[in-house]
Structure 1
């Protein structure tokens, strides 16, 4: 299947308005209405849980990122390592996403459009998006912008997008260290495509196991979902509701920054733990249509595409991608 481009010719063509990065993403989050949910997420799954900038040597050992490499060598090194620190390398991830990105984004976008990725990590998903759209759809000169909560990842994204390889695929916009639940520094109605490659789930949404590691928290959430005890089932329902609220914060910001008539997408989404106990937890496929109404997203009625993501190597095969369009 593919997405209709019927509104692309009438969509407003305009450059992204200038904007500045927040000085401190944590401070911005604390000042927002979404602070409590945002801070809950960070306390359960904070920066210490992730390695933003790593290389893997031949024996599989992780070593610190190196500053002695030029930008293109840095990119090649990262592309040959596990994608964003885990799973198969960049090439396999790109193979997995080619059909989705070319079929769903390609018919709508045009050369020179602006795209934004929330939680862009080191900028690899943006790079594969630009490369796929260039090679499969003939779309060039996309202006790429993004944010990530980890400043180290943003610094790597800046370097990757200064490389000759990336500059041949798109035009570097602005990358900011910022909270995906609070992108107030990003202008309204600015991007032709606003998306995230993955919404990082909240581990232990009710803070039932403070101080425990994420593996133990996930194990407990799966136990609650599988339990027949009424109290456990009630807690499992509350946890899922909190997870959905977390997703809604991210997606609400994507709708805000998308242009009228622009695309909003969420890639690599797991279903809830009650449906997919083997993954990290997410939202069910049937949630999106109801959520658009409940959370007041300015989504165009009848434009909702949900498509399973194929499994590649160690990448889970039970995730899916979602595409919506902002009312134009």
Structure 2
């Protein structure tokens, strides 16, 4: 049984991490969040110590190590995107391995510094790239590798996830803190595309608004038209009528790739891989971090390869 701590336990994604820690047979010894609305802990680790201040959390971890010979093995990080870099450093300074939600960092150059710190530490940095563990996505990657086409695949990727007015008021609505929607809701999909179809050769942004973005990617093996939105009015009519707030859609050469099922259930599998020493690391995270940074800083251009929703 490994000892875990979790920073950002009141956040949206934290329950998936709590569930993963529990289901892999490990123990949460401490949690931290500036919000004290953390009743979710009672469903998983009611005995975990809880703190609202990093200084007291830090002191507690140090006390456990020195006075009770209880070392922290892993620190799970579910905090706002702009804090990931700092909290990864905290994990390594504490002698623990880091398990960090996406995006690992907002700016590519931070990865180089983290790599240097990791090399000086006994801990390892892991990130959650759960789509690489989705059976249907693995099958698509194997198909692409098996077919070895001379021509590039044509890909349409759409992800719409309705968000209320709270989104823009929160840290997620501030690009300097979240990286914007291409980073905050899109990085898993961009990582998936790069993992399957290879490196970026060209990147264009056609639509660039706070609640929706669209663009085009030329990859080694694919031409990709992508669309991301948090505006409920962009959901297909059928989804709105059924009260469905999320729409995921990917077409590859006219064939639909269905990967909605199991999308939110892959954190436990991610933890299983990490605990076996097979987690995704800085090198795995780098291509998608570079890409979303590029998208964030691209000037919008006129429509070319138009996405089917535009």
The answer to whether TM tops 0.5 is: no
TM-score by length of 2: 0.29
Q: Which has the larger radius of gyration?
A: 2
